[in-house]
A and B are shown apart, each in its own frame.
Chain A
Amino acid sequence: MAKPTDLVQGTLDLLILRTLALQPMHGWGIAQRIRQVSKDVLQVNQGALYPALHRLEQQGWIRAKWGESENNRRAKYYSLTPDGAKYLRQEQAQWKRLSSAIGLVLDMS
Chain B
Amino acid sequence: MRWYYKLPLRLRSLFRKDKAELDLSEELQFHLQNQIDELVAEGMNPQEARREALKSLGGVEQVKEECREMRRTNLIENFFQDLRFGLRMLRRTPGFSILAILCLTLGIGANAAVFSWVEGILVRPYPLVFDQERLIALAGTVRGERDQTSWPDLLDVRRSCTLCETLFVSNITGATLNIGDHAQIITGGMVSANYFDAIGVHPFLGRGFEPGEDSGRNAHPVVVLSYHLWQSRFKGDPEIIGKTQRFDNVVHTIVGVAPAGFYGTFVGRAIEYWVPISMLEVFYSGSNRLEDRGARWAEAYVRRKPGVTRSQAQQEISAIATRLEAEYPATNRGRGIKVWALWETPFNHAGELLPILQIMVIVVVFVLLIVCANVGNLLLVRSFARRHEMTVRLAIGADRGRLLRQLVTEGLLLSVCGAVGGMLLAYWCRQALPLLFPVRGGEVMYLPGEIDARVLGLSAAICLVATLAVGLVPAFQMRHLAIADSLKTEATSVMGARGRAWFRSSLVVLQVTLSFMLLVGATLLIQSLRNIRTTSPGFSTTRVLDTWIPLAAAGYDAPRARTFQEELIQRVRALPGVEAAAYARVVPLGYEGYSSTPIAVDGYEPQPNEQPAADYNEVSSNYFATMGIPLISGREFTRADDENAPRVAIVNQTMVARYWRGQNPVGQRLQVKGNWVQVVGVAKDSKYYSMDETPRAFFYVPLRQYFAIEPDIHIRTTQPLQTIETALIREVRAIDPNLALYEMITLQEQLDRSTSQQLVAVTLVALFGGLALLLASIGLYGVMSCSVSQSTRELGLRMALGAGTSNVLRLVLSRGLLLTTTGIVIGIALALPLTRLLGNLLYQVSPRDSLAFATAFAVMSVASVAACFLPAWRATRIDPMRALRAE
- A: which residues have CB within 8 A of B? 26-28, 45-47, 50-51, 54-55, 57-61, 63, 66, 69, 73-76, 81-83
The answer to whether B56 and A27 touch across the interface, beta carbons within 8 angstroms, is no
Stretch in B2-10, B443-451, B815-823 with 4+ CB within 8 Å of A: B2-10
**Interface presence of B23 (CB below 8 A):** yes
The answer to whether B6 and A26 touch across the interface, beta carbons within 8 angstroms, is no
Minimum CB distance partner of A83 in chain B: B2
Minimum CB distance partner of B73 in chain A: A58
Minimum CB distance partner of B56 in chain A: A46
Per the bound structure, the CA–CA distance linking A99 and B1 in Å amounts to 31
**Interface presence of B870 (CB below 8 A):** no
Partner of A58 from B28, B30, B62, B71 at Cβ < 8 Å? B71
Per the bound structure, the CA–CA distance linking A27 and B23 in Å amounts to 13
The answer to whether A60 and B3 touch across the interface, beta carbons within 8 angstroms, is yes
Per the bound structure, the CA–CA distance linking A58 and B74 in Å amounts to 13
Minimum CB distance partner of A29 in chain B: B34
Per the bound structure, the CA–CA distance linking A81 and B4 in Å amounts to 11
The answer to whether B70 and A58 touch across the interface, beta carbons within 8 angstroms, is yes
Q: How far is the CB of B728 from chain A (nearest CB, A)?
A: 88
The answer to whether B9 and A47 touch across the interface, beta carbons within 8 angstroms, is no
The answer to whether A28 and B1 touch across the interface, beta carbons within 8 angstroms, is no
Q: How far is the CB of B64 from chain A (nearest CB, A)?
A: 9
Q: Report A-chain residues with C-beta under 8 Å of the C-beta of B59.
A: 47
Minimum CB distance partner of A61 in chain B: B2
The answer to whether B70 and A69 touch across the interface, beta carbons within 8 angstroms, is no
- B: which residues have CB within 8 A of A? 1-6, 9, 23, 26-28, 30-31, 33-35, 56-59, 62-63, 66-67, 69-72
The answer to whether A73 and B33 touch across the interface, beta carbons within 8 angstroms, is yes
Minimum CB distance partner of B7 in chain A: A60
Per the bound structure, the CA–CA distance linking A46 and B31 in Å amounts to 9
Q: How far is the CB of A60 from chain B (nearest CB, A)?
A: 3
Q: Report B-chain residues with C-beta under 8 Å of the C-beta of A74.
A: 26, 30
Do A76 and B23 contact each other (CB < 8 Å), given the known contacts A51-B66, A58-B70? yes
Partner of A28 from B6, B31, B58, B67 at Cβ < 8 Å? B31
6 contacts between A and B (CB under 8 A): A46-B57, A47-B62, A54-B71, A59-B6, A75-B27, A76-B30
The answer to whether A54 and B5 touch across the interface, beta carbons within 8 angstroms, is no
Q: How far is the CB of A85 from chain B (nearest CB, A)?
A: 12
Do A47 and B58 contact each other (CB < 8 Å), given the known contacts A59-B6, A81-B2? yes
Q: How far is the CB of A3 from chain B (nearest CB, A)?
A: 15
Per the bound structure, the CA–CA distance linking A55 and B723 in Å amounts to 92
Partner of B30 from A26, A46, A81, A83 at Cβ < 8 Å? A26
Partner of A51 from B30, B34, B63 at Cβ < 8 Å? B63
The answer to whether A50 and B26 touch across the interface, beta carbons within 8 angstroms, is no
Given contacts A50-B27, A51-B66, 11 further A-B contacts (CB under 8 A): A27-B30, A50-B28, A50-B31, A51-B69, A58-B71, A59-B6, A60-B3, A74-B26, A75-B27, A76-B27, A81-B1
Q: How far is the CB of A64 from chain B (nearest CB, A)?
A: 9
Do A81 and B23 contact each other (CB < 8 Å), given the known contacts A46-B58, A74-B30, A75-B30? no
Q: How far is the CB of B138 from chain A (nearest CB, A)?
A: 64
In this complex, the member of A26, A28, A45 whose beta carbon has the largest number of chain B beta carbons within 10 angstroms is A28
Q: Report B-chain residues with C-beta under 8 Å of the C-beta of A28.
A: 30-31, 34-35
Q: Report B-chain residues with C-beta under 8 Å of the C-beta of A81.
A: 1-2, 5
Per the bound structure, the CA–CA distance linking A15 and B58 in Å amounts to 21
The answer to whether A60 and B5 touch across the interface, beta carbons within 8 angstroms, is yes
Q: How far is the CB of A95 from chain B (nearest CB, A)?
A: 21
The answer to whether A60 and B57 touch across the interface, beta carbons within 8 angstroms, is no
Minimum CB distance partner of A66 in chain B: B23
Q: Which 5 A-B pairs have the closest CB atoms?
A: A47-B58, A60-B2, A51-B66, A54-B70, A55-B70
Per the bound structure, the CA–CA distance linking A83 and B3 in Å amounts to 10
Partner of A47 from B5, B23, B57 at Cβ < 8 Å? B57
Q: Report B-chain residues with C-beta under 8 Å of the C-beta of A51.
A: 63, 66-67, 69-70
Q: Report B-chain residues with C-beta under 8 Å of the C-beta of A45.
A: 58
Q: Report A-chain residues with C-beta under 8 Å of the C-beta of B5.
A: 57, 60, 63, 81
Q: How far is the CB of A36 from chain B (nearest CB, A)?
A: 13
Partner of A27 from B4, B9, B31, B62 at Cβ < 8 Å? B31
Q: Report B-chain residues with C-beta under 8 Å of the C-beta of A69.
A: 30
Q: Report A-chain residues with C-beta under 8 Å of the C-beta of B2.
A: 59-61, 81, 83
Q: Report B-chain residues with C-beta under 8 Å of the C-beta of A63.
A: 5
Q: How far is the CB of A87 from chain B (nearest CB, A)?
A: 9
Q: Report A-chain residues with C-beta under 8 Å of the C-beta of B56.
A: 46
Per the bound structure, the CA–CA distance linking A50 and B30 in Å amounts to 12
In this complex, the member of B30, B56, B58, B62 whose beta carbon has the largest number of chain A beta carbons within 10 angstroms is B30
Per the bound structure, the CA–CA distance linking A73 and B37 in Å amounts to 13
Per the bound structure, the CA–CA distance linking A73 and B29 in Å amounts to 11
In this complex, the member of A58, A59, A63, A81 whose beta carbon has the largest number of chain B beta carbons within 10 angstroms is A58
Partner of A83 from B1, B58, B62 at Cβ < 8 Å? B1
The answer to whether B72 and A58 touch across the interface, beta carbons within 8 angstroms, is yes
The answer to whether A73 and B30 touch across the interface, beta carbons within 8 angstroms, is yes
Q: Report A-chain residues with C-beta under 8 Å of the C-beta of B57.
A: 46-47
Per the bound structure, the CA–CA distance linking A27 and B32 in Å amounts to 11
The answer to whether B1 and A82 touch across the interface, beta carbons within 8 angstroms, is yes
Minimum CB distance partner of B72 in chain A: A58
Q: Report A-chain residues with C-beta under 8 Å of the C-beta of B30.
A: 26-28, 69, 73-76
Q: How far is the CB of A79 from chain B (nearest CB, A)?
A: 11
Per the bound structure, the CA–CA distance linking A106 and B2 in Å amounts to 39
Per the bound structure, the CA–CA distance linking A46 and B27 in Å amounts to 13
Minimum CB distance partner of A55 in chain B: B70
Minimum CB distance partner of B65 in chain A: A51
In this complex, the member of A45, A46, A73 whose beta carbon has the largest number of chain B beta carbons within 10 angstroms is A46
Per the bound structure, the CA–CA distance linking A73 and B628 in Å amounts to 111
Q: Report B-chain residues with C-beta under 8 Å of the C-beta of A57.
A: 5, 9
The answer to whether B1 and A47 touch across the interface, beta carbons within 8 angstroms, is no
Q: Report A-chain residues with C-beta under 8 Å of the C-beta of B34.
A: 28
Q: Report A-chain residues with C-beta under 8 Å of the C-beta of B3.
A: 60
In this complex, the member of A27, A60, A81, A82 whose beta carbon has the largest number of chain B beta carbons within 10 angstroms is A60
Q: How far is the CB of B63 from chain A (nearest CB, A)?
A: 6
The answer to whether A50 and B6 touch across the interface, beta carbons within 8 angstroms, is no
Per the bound structure, the CA–CA distance linking A34 and B714 in Å amounts to 109
The answer to whether B27 and A27 touch across the interface, beta carbons within 8 angstroms, is yes
Q: How far is the CB of B69 from chain A (nearest CB, A)?
A: 8
Q: Report A-chain residues with C-beta under 8 Å of the C-beta of B9.
A: 57-58
Per the bound structure, the CA–CA distance linking A63 and B28 in Å amounts to 17
Partner of A60 from B6, B26, B67 at Cβ < 8 Å? B6
In this complex, the member of B5, B62, B63 whose beta carbon has the largest number of chain A beta carbons within 10 angstroms is B5
Q: How far is the CB of A32 from chain B (nearest CB, A)?
A: 9
Q: How far is the CB of B369 from chain A (nearest CB, A)?
A: 45
Q: Report B-chain residues with C-beta under 8 Å of the C-beta of A26.
A: 27, 30
Minimum CB distance partner of B58 in chain A: A47
Minimum CB distance partner of B3 in chain A: A60
Q: Report B-chain residues with C-beta under 8 Å of the C-beta of A73.
A: 30, 33
Per the bound structure, the CA–CA distance linking A26 and B29 in Å amounts to 12
Per the bound structure, the CA–CA distance linking A8 and B67 in Å amounts to 17
Per the bound structure, the CA–CA distance linking A55 and B71 in Å amounts to 7
Minimum CB distance partner of B37 in chain A: A71
Q: Report B-chain residues with C-beta under 8 Å of the C-beta of A47.
A: 57-59, 62-63, 66
Per the bound structure, the CA–CA distance linking A73 and B559 in Å amounts to 115
Minimum CB distance partner of A63 in chain B: B5
Per the bound structure, the CA–CA distance linking A54 and B3 in Å amounts to 15
Minimum CB distance partner of A47 in chain B: B58
Partner of A50 from B4, B33, B67 at Cβ < 8 Å? B67
Per the bound structure, the CA–CA distance linking A57 and B9 in Å amounts to 8
The answer to whether B1 and A54 touch across the interface, beta carbons within 8 angstroms, is no
Q: Report A-chain residues with C-beta under 8 Å of the C-beta of B71.
A: 54, 58
Q: How far is the CB of B494 from chain A (nearest CB, A)?
A: 51
Per the bound structure, the CA–CA distance linking A91 and B62 in Å amounts to 29
Q: How far is the CB of B695 from chain A (nearest CB, A)?
A: 82
Per the bound structure, the CA–CA distance linking A20 and B63 in Å amounts to 22
Q: Report B-chain residues with C-beta under 8 Å of the C-beta of A27.
A: 27, 30-31
Q: Report A-chain residues with C-beta under 8 Å of the C-beta of B27.
A: 26-27, 50, 75-76
Per the bound structure, the CA–CA distance linking A63 and B34 in Å amounts to 22
Q: How far is the CB of A29 from chain B (nearest CB, A)?
A: 9
